[in-house]
Structure formats: C-alpha cells, structure tokens
Amino acid sequence: MAPSTPIPVSIVTGFLGSGKTTLLNRLLKDPSLVDTAVIINEFGDVGIDHLLVEQSNDGVIELSDGCLCCTIRGDLVDTLADLIDRLQTGRIRALSRVIIETTGLADPAPVLQVIMAQPVLSQVYRLDGVIVTVDAVSGPATLDNHEEAIKQVAMADRIVLTKTDLVDRDSPEFARFTTRLMQLNPGAPQVSAQDGEGIKAELFDCGLYDPETKTADVSRWLRDAAVEEHHHHHGHDVNRHDSRIRAFTLQHDQPIDPGAFETFVDLLRSVQGERLLRFKAIVCLADNPDRPLVVHGVQSVFHPPARLAAWPDEDRRTRLVIISRDIDENYVRRLFDAILDTPSVDTPDREALENNPLAVPGVRMG
Ligand SMILES: Nc1nc2c(ncn2[C@@H]2O[C@H](COP(=O)(O)OP(=O)(O)OP(=O)(O)O)[C@@H](O)[C@H]2O)c(=O)[nH]1
C-alpha cells in the first residue's frame, strides 16, 4: 500500500565543492527532518557526518558506484522503490522526506525525470523542488567556464549562496553575481547558507502541494509573478552562455480547448526536447474550467497531468512558466497564439500547425 500522502523529494545539486554536503549536514540537524532519507552518491568519502549516519541507521542510503543521475540511473529508481518497501515492511519507522544529493558535475534533469515520470514512483513521491548551491567565491568563474553549472542554476527552484562568509556581501562584485543568478533564474528565491535557522523553511515545500493547508499553493510553486517581473532584464554584458537561457511566462484569460493545449505541449516537447529545461503550468481547460490542470515537465519528460479540485484563489488565468535554453521565446509565443487561434501576423492557424508543425517561423531543427 502506498503512503497516504506522497513523500516530498528534494534534489540538491550544485557544482563540485560548492557546499552541498555542508548544507545538508546543517539542514539535517533540524529536528523536524529526523525521518529524512538521504540518497547520496559519493566516491569513497562518507560526505555526511558520521554521527548522522549512525543516528539514522537505515534511513541513510549511500550509493557508491558511479554517477547517480546517469550511469546508475536504474539504481536511483530501485533505491526509491526500496525505501517504500522498507517503510511498508516496518524496516524503517517513518519516511517523511527524501533528499537526493547529486554529484557536482551532474545534470539534474534525469533525476527530476525519475521522480516525475516513473509510473510507480510518481504515485508515492512528489517532487518538492530542486535546490542548487552556488559558491559566492568561485561561483562567477564556475558559471563562466562550465555550462552545466549554468544549467543547474537555471533548473533550480531555490538558490543557496554558500561561502558568503568569505566575501563582502556589500561589494559590487557580489551584487553583480546575485543579479546574474537572478537573470538566469528569476523565479528562484536566493538564500544565503549563512542565514541560519530560517533557511529550512525557505528551501523545502516549494512544490505545488502545501502540507500546512493540504491544498495547492500555485503561486509559490509557479513563481510566475517573479519571472514576469524580471523578464527581459538581461544586461548588455551577459556572458554568452548565460544569454542562451531564457525564463518567461505565458498567460491566457479564456478557457482553452483541451486538444489544443495538448497539441501545444506535444509540439513543444517533441520539437524543442532537451532545450526545454523546465515547464510549469496551471491551465484552465474548457471541459472543466473549475478544476485547473497542472502540468510539469523537464525536457521532453512530463509528469502525468493532474487536476486540482479547485482554483486556489480568484486568479483563474492559465499561466505557464518556461525556462529554456536556446529556444526563441517568440517562437513559443507564436506557437501558443496559433494553438489558441489568436490571430497574429505571419503565423499559421492551428489546423495548419497540426498538419505541419514546422510551419511556425523561427522553429529550429536538430
Ligand atoms: N567558509 C565556508 N566554507 C564552506 C561553506 N560551505 C562549504 N564550505 C567548504 O567548502 C568545501 C566544500 O564543501 P562541500 O560541502 O564538501 O561541497 P560539495 O558541494 O558537497 O562538494 P562535492 O561533493 O565535492 O561536489 C568544504 O571544505 C567546506 O567546508 C561556507 O558556507 N563557508
């Protein structure tokens, strides 16, 4: 039998040496995280404090043979399934949360996809959020030199600045760095690892489900207001890698035909595939406008769409947040307009699109 409420899974990502393990060790001292299982991938060293491993005994699982998210992807699935098995057979007392620490060079996307799209796992677990650690000292250079570090930042729901004790937080360099992070990911709040007690509340429960109220907290999850506010704030001197990343929102006031929306999502994922870093949406569909559809995808893998029981507040607009790499935002906007049959210059209508999806100007092949 599955647990009655899905178990939240947080993914901690961040470049080599950026402070993932240090952050985890601090977080896990919080008494409310006692029934947390940590899935960690370390070569050799035990990264998590020894004390903690002893305390939690069965609750901490370390994988030690290969990269968590690529070479041993099957093992992550097995490990998550095994945790549930242990819970059900009483070999672990409780399981209130899972934290997966990825290796520093890892692409977080496959890990997210495991949680979202493995049919069995996606019923038992829910993705809470992706937390990325960025080093305030070497972070700027890391972003300049490593595109995977940029991708980790762009995909995150929360950004943790580490080693802020080693920099002057009032300096222009620090301000430039935090601005750069905001431009890469305007929807992700930034917190400093130095900020102490409050940090846990900032980092967890950023998923759609609010355990306090047992309802959906759409604006906390979608963060569309923040993305909208900072849209187009890329400075002139942005690094060319940074400029590949775009975060933007789409909105629509009227209920949308379910088939049209499906076509839109299908086209986006099939044509843009891995360039679609995150896709989050709450959608008012014409067949049942009172029960919004929630859609969440990472690259071409999407969580099975779910209907909320009701809209959480008066705002019943369809809202989408897209974080993309190398996708022309205007292409997506034109596609959305075409699908909704909103007239727009030089854009084929929906029927034409369904016959020939490549008819949208600006589409890139390959
Ligand atoms: N001064 C300071 N040092 C820190 C902070 N966070 C981490 N460190 C140090 O930075 C080094 C790397 O930290 P880790 O937590 O091991 O980083 P990691 O991301 O887990 O490293 P990998 O697993 O190797 O990718 C360690 O020596 C930490 O003590 C911080 O906030 N301030």
3-state SS of 270-300? HHHHHHEEEEEEEECECCCCCCCEEEEEECC
Ligand 1 centroid to Cα of residue 194, in Å, is 13
* pLDDT surpasses 50 at 348: yes
**CATH number, domain 235-359, options 3.50.50.60, 3.30.1220.10, 3.40.50.2000, 3.40.50.261:** 3.30.1220.10
Residue 63 in 3-state DSSP? strand
Instruction: With residue 109 as reference, give the H or E element that holds it.
Output: helix 109-117
* pLDDT surpasses 50 at 360: no
Instruction: With residue 190 as reference, give the H or E element that holds it.
Output: strand 190-192
Half-sphere exposure of 323 (CA within 13 A, CB side): 28
CA distance 67 to 103: 7
Nearest atom of ligand 1 to the alpha carbon of 166: 1
CA distance 215 to 234: 35
Q: Supply the ipTM of this predicted assembly.
A: 0.97
SS3 content of the chain, % helix, strand, coil (to 5): 40, 20, 40
- 255: its two tokens: 């209920």
Which range of 17-26, 122-131, 283-292 scores highest in mean pLDDT? It is 283-292
Residues 142 and 15: beta-carbon distance below 8 Å: yes
* pLDDT surpasses 70 at 62: no
Ligand 1 centroid to Cα of residue 19, in Å, is 3
Least-confidence region, from 19-23, 69-73, 117-121, 179-183: 69-73
Q: Map tokens 């993705």 to a residue.
A: 127
Q: Where in the chain is the domain with CATH 3.30.1220.10?
A: 235-359
CA distances (Å), origin 356, targets 340, 345, 350, 352: 16, 18, 10, 6
Residue with the bigger pLDDT between 47 and 212: it is 212
Tens digits of residue pLDDT in 223-238: 888 888 887 665 555 6
Nearest atom of ligand 1 to the alpha carbon of 42: 23
Model pTM score: 0.85
Please list every protein residue whose CB sits less than 6 Å from any atom of ligand 1. Answer: 14, 16-22, 47, 104, 162-163, 165-166, 193
Mean pLDDT of 92-119: 82
CA distance 30 to 10: 16
Ligand 1 centroid to Cα of residue 162, in Å, is 8
CA distance 71 to 43: 14
Tens digits of residue pLDDT in 42-52: 544 445 554 44
Choose the residue to mutate in 12, 13, 15, 21 for probing ligand 1, maximizing ligand atoms within 8 Å of C-beta: 21
Least-confidence region, from 53-57, 220-224, 254-258: 53-57
Backbone angles phi, psi at 342, to 5 degrees: -85, 120
**Residue of the CA atom closest to atom 7 of ligand 1:** 19
Residues 322 and 250: beta-carbon distance below 8 Å: yes
> How many other C-beta atoms lie within 10 A of the C-beta of residue 95?
19
Q: Where in the chain is the domain with CATH 3.40.50.300?
A: 7-206
Nearest atom of ligand 1 to the alpha carbon of 104: 25
**Residue of the CA atom closest to atom 1 of ligand 1:** 163
CA distance 227 to 198: 24
Q: Which CATH superfamily is domain 7-206 in?
A: P-loop containing nucleotide triphosphate hydrolases (3.40.50.300)
Of 183, 317, 151, nearest to 250 by C-alpha is: 317
Tens digits of residue pLDDT in 311-333: 988 899 999 999 999 998 999 99
CA distance 208 to 205: 8
Least-confidence region, from 59-63, 110-114, 149-153: 59-63
* pLDDT surpasses 70 at 291: yes
CA distance 106 to 108: 6
* 304-339: burial string, b at 16+ Cβ within 10 Å, e else: ebeebeebbeeeeebbbbbbbbebbbebbbbbbbbb
- Give percent of the chain with pLDDT exceeding 70: 78
Mean pLDDT of 331-349: 75
Gyration radius of the chain's alpha carbons: 21
